[in-house]
Amino acid sequence: MKNLKVCYNQFRKNECEIINTRNLCNLLRLLLVVLLTCNLSCKDTAKKKKSEINSFFKIPFSEIITHQREVNLSEFANDVEIFQLENTPEALLGAIEDIGLTSDYIFVMCWAQPILQFSREGKFIKQIGAIGKGPGEYNICLKMSIDEKSEQIYIYTTEQSIEVFNFNGDYIKTIKFPALASFMKYWVRGRDSTFVSYFEPIIGNEPYVFIEYNEQGDTLQTIPNYIFYDIEEQADPPQISLFEDQNFAYDFEYKLHLKGCYNDTIYSFDKANRLVPKYFIDLGKHKLPPDLIYERKWSRPLPGNLIWTGVHETSDFIFIPYGYHFNKIKLESEKKERGLVLYSKKTQEGVAIIETRTGGFKDDIAGGPDFCPTLAYDNVALMVVSAMEMKQYLLTDQFKNKNVKFPEKKEKLNQLKRIINENDNDYLILVKF
């Protein structure tokens, strides 16, 4: 019996040692898992921070345009649609000043008439608001912003207010605060309930180029001005740089993007809603120097190789239309030709077209005019062509002799030249990627 008890006690002792060994192993395993998790987490955090830092990129514009060639749409596009904005009496348009594109609609702004809403196929739907001074009315549209998420339209007007409508055409509200009273600024919707003003320095001591405000008029954040000069250096009469294709703002992935006339950095909102640099267009020797901006007196002649740029962005590409600065003494550009750079975000490579008076890609898909985007949306770029421009193009040998991917699309254009009226509404060219 005593031996049996000794054996039992020895068994319990061994069992405890085994259990303790197992517990130790389990603890070691747990510690190893924790260490691996922390290590991976730290690596992910570091990788994320590195990715955020490396997300800023530079487009070597000056290098790209040294190698120019004819660029066809079929090299990067899948299809081209050409259609006219409907010609009903209530939909007749003046000169188009701004255009907005969503997944379902096209919004067109002409200064002295209400904003018009069309389907993506160009069929007229309705006008947004009315001309007048009552609720839901406005006199002249200065700028239009489209918020597709909330389905709202923001119209900056000569009443120094922002009129808000929904996509159904219903008047929502009027926004007014003191800063809106400045006619020396352009206004666009920022994010949620914020607005961004823009203007280059006129006096020479303005601290900011872009300012974000909330609906109450409080300043939220700014992008600084880097060009300063004394008021005695102000141009007389004052002039500003306003080229048709030199846009200062565009929307991409539901975010506002900003670019000043004299600053080649594009800013946008990050995840914390801070305005931060996104990418840089390196003009190199083609950049306009601070002492030759239009708002300032010139102390020397203008070199002939200085370039202004616009910018549009899709999921895969960045389009940079450009031209040459004009001599404000002669009131003409040093060079009449225009160019266009296509930059691939995937390959980080760019291509430049041969500079021409029209400055666009050759439409070897449908046979339309040379294509230079007016705006971009998701995987689509759009160009506006007046009825007169379309008629003149369809009568050229360039159109007649053009070989295209889809002959049936060219034949539709061929039929169009027999009936087109130069006073009709504009045509839209949609290029799909």
pLDDT given for residue 242 in this prediction: 64
Digit-coded pLDDT (tens) for 218-257: 999 999 999 999 989 998 877 776 677 889 999 999 999 9
pLDDT given for residue 241 in this prediction: 67
How far is residue 78 from each of residues 72, 142, 245, measured CA to CA in Å? 11, 35, 24
- Taking residue 61's Cβ as centre, other Cβ atoms within 10 Å add up to 23
Pair 98, 155: CB distance under 8 Å? no
Closest CA relative to residue 415, chosen from 423, 405, 407 = 407
How far is residue 215 from each of residues 169, 170, 226, measured CA to CA in Å? 21, 20, 27
Pair 179, 217: CB distance under 8 Å? yes
Digit-coded pLDDT (tens) for 291-317: 999 999 988 888 889 999 999 999 999
DSSP designation for 289: P
In the block, residue with structure tokens 């209530």: 90
Residue 301 DSSP SS3: coil
Pair 247, 299: CB distance under 8 Å? no
Tokens of 406: 């889809």
Taking residues 5-17, report their average pLDDT. 45
Cα 1 from Cα 22, distance rounded (Å): 31
Cα 427 from Cα 413, distance rounded (Å): 12
Cα 139 from Cα 133, distance rounded (Å): 7
Say if residue 346's pLDDT is above 60.
yes
pLDDT given for residue 39 in this prediction: 52
Cα 418 from Cα 375, distance rounded (Å): 29
- Taking residue 379's Cβ as centre, other Cβ atoms within 10 Å add up to 14
C-alpha triplet 62, 63, 68: angle, nearest 5°: 95
pTM: 0.86
Taking residues 364-386, report their average pLDDT. 96
Pair 129, 162: CB distance under 8 Å? no
pLDDT given for residue 244 in this prediction: 75
Task: Write down the mean pLDDT value for the chain.
Answer: 88
Closest CA relative to residue 229, chosen from 196, 209, 204 = 204
Number of residues written out for the chain: 433
Digit-coded pLDDT (tens) for 104-126: 999 999 988 999 999 999 999 99
Pair 127, 114: CB distance under 8 Å? yes
Taking residues 29-55, report their average pLDDT. 49
Q: What does residue 218 show for φ and ψ, rounded to 5 degrees?
A: -75, 140
Digit-coded pLDDT (tens) for 139-171: 899 999 999 999 999 999 998 999 999 999 999
Cα 23 from Cα 416, distance rounded (Å): 85
Closest CA relative to residue 402, chosen from 72, 81, 77 = 72
C-alpha triplet 75, 249, 252: angle, nearest 5°: 55
